[in-house]
Amino acid sequence: MWPNHRFINLCGIELPIIQAPMAGVAFSDMVVAVSQAGGLGSLACALLSVEQARNELETIRRKTSRPINANFFCHQPPQDDRDRERNWRQRLDAYYVQLQIDSNISIPNSARAPFDDKMCDLVTKFHPEVVSFQFGLPDKNLLLRIRKTGAKIMSSATTVNEARWLEDQGCDAIIAQGFEAGGHRGMFLTEDVSTQVGTMALVPQVVDAVKVPVIAAGGIADGRGILAAFALGAAAVQIGTAYLHCPEAQISPLYRQALKGARDNDTAITNVFTGRPARAIVNRFMREVGPMSDVAPKFPLAAAALAPLRAKSEMAGSADFTSLWSGQAARLSRELPAAELTRQIAADALKNLRSMQTMA
Ligand SMILES: Cc1cc2nc3c(=O)[nH]c(=O)nc-3n(C[C@H](O)[C@H](O)[C@H](O)COP(=O)(O)O)c2cc1C
């Protein structure tokens, strides 16, 4: 019934829909709901401690025996750069004064840690059927350990070059992440945001360049988007922003409200929240300091100095300093529980497919 069964067969799922891993936002209840509905639920581990990730995986395995995806970042931790850090703090000084925050407040480092041996121990213990990465792949020894568990391995590519590289390293599937996508750009062989490619252009070019199944991501939020992705040659879709509207998404009322009102051109690519380019709804901090800043420390260090500003302004009911990650298609989303959303957009895609076939 689906025009392409390669990804469904690869992972043993029913619907070619991956709920995107969303660090800090989507946890075990969302993963279980999507996997139980027949899609592939993803647990993002980038912001979790090993203990938290273990608890989440335990809960997921207790509640469903369906396939799941565990997702990790694999960036190179940056060198300490005191000058850069000082310049960043100076850039933020006026905001500290305005919000009456002591500029000597001690600030913990960002929790975003790359995949390591300890997280790999969890993969070998809980054997998720799929393990996916953002920002390339971890080193060969870690990859080998994952492979031995039988998990399918995938990662995001934002260019054909990155897709070819991932295939050469043995990825079983590749996520083609178009420019429309919410959250961080998965880019790892280029730093040039200005040449990043939209989903419509990227997906068919990646499909032509690699042999493994390609998953389309970025700006897909309903049955029309899913059908379009299949027409471009994708074997599945990875959807993030649309799932942010679900009750399972652990986002603040401020974030939810911003998403509800987000128009097609309300998001931009910014590095001011973490130091890496990511798409978010434009707010005061992005407008005044970015959206791209030369002063922002390298990923993930930029996040630390921002945390007190965010906390204080959220307490006062403002999202001025909050990273409101969102793709360009927030408007297309529906407020439904994650299982229902998964089933409904899959059914809509198939209905659209049948009506197109009838017309032809
Ligand atoms: C709030 C949010 C958090 C995200 N966190 C992650 C993450 O932890 N790991 C990852 O691989 N991708 C992450 N992404 C990117 C998604 O995997 C995916 O590329 C993107 O959501 C697709 O575009 P869409 O948001 O338009 O559906 C995140 C996206 C959003 C919106």
| Residue 216 near ligand 1, beta carbon < 6 Å | no
DSSP 8-state class, residue 325: B
- Minimum CA distance residue for ligand 1 atom 15: 183
* Residue written as token pair 């998953």: 215
Handedness of CA 21, 201, 180, 33 (dihedral sign): negative
- Residue 105 pLDDT > 90: no
Single pTM value for the model: 0.97
Residue type, 248: E
Mean pLDDT value of segment 156-185? 98
Which of 95-109, 181-195, 276-290 has the weakest average pLDDT? 95-109
Q: Could you give the CA distance from residue 178 to residue 185 in angstroms, rounded to a whole number?
A: 9
Which atom of ligand 1 is the closest one to the Cα of 45?
8
What residues contact 52, with CB distance under 8 A and at least 6 apart? none
| Residue 277 near ligand 1, beta carbon < 6 Å | no
230 CA distance to ligand 1 middle (Å): 20
Residue type, 255: Y
Q: Given this model, what pLDDT does residue 336 score? A: 97
Give pLDDT tens digits for 230-269: 999 999 999 999 999 999 999 999 999 999 999 999 999 9
What is the gyration radius of the CA atoms in the chain, in angstroms?
20
Mutate to test the pocket of ligand 1, among 184, 187, 220 (most ligand atoms within 8 A of CB): 184
- Minimum CA distance residue for ligand 1 atom 17: 20
Q: Could you give the CA distance from residue 8 to residue 5 in angstroms, rounded to a whole number?
A: 5
- Minimum CA distance residue for ligand 1 atom 30: 183
CA 134 to chain centre: 8
185 CA distance to ligand 1 middle (Å): 8
Q: Could you give the CA distance from residue 223 to residue 7 in angstroms, rounded to a whole number?
A: 18
Which atom of ligand 1 is the closest one to the Cα of 328?
26
Give pLDDT tens digits for 5-21: 999 999 999 999 999 99
| Residue 327 near ligand 1, beta carbon < 6 Å | yes
Q: Could you give the CA distance from residue 291 to residue 17 in angstroms, rounded to a whole number?
A: 31
154 CA distance to ligand 1 middle (Å): 14
Q: Given this model, what pLDDT does residue 159 score? A: 98
Q: Given this model, what pLDDT does residue 350 score? A: 97
Mean pLDDT value of segment 92-106? 91
CA angle 75, 78, 81 (to 5 degrees): 160
Q: Is residue 23 within 8 Å of residue 47, measured between CB atoms?
A: yes
| Residue 238 near ligand 1, beta carbon < 6 Å | yes
Mutate to test the pocket of ligand 1, among 325, 331, 341, 345 (most ligand atoms within 8 A of CB): 325
Q: Given this model, what pLDDT does residue 113 score? A: 84
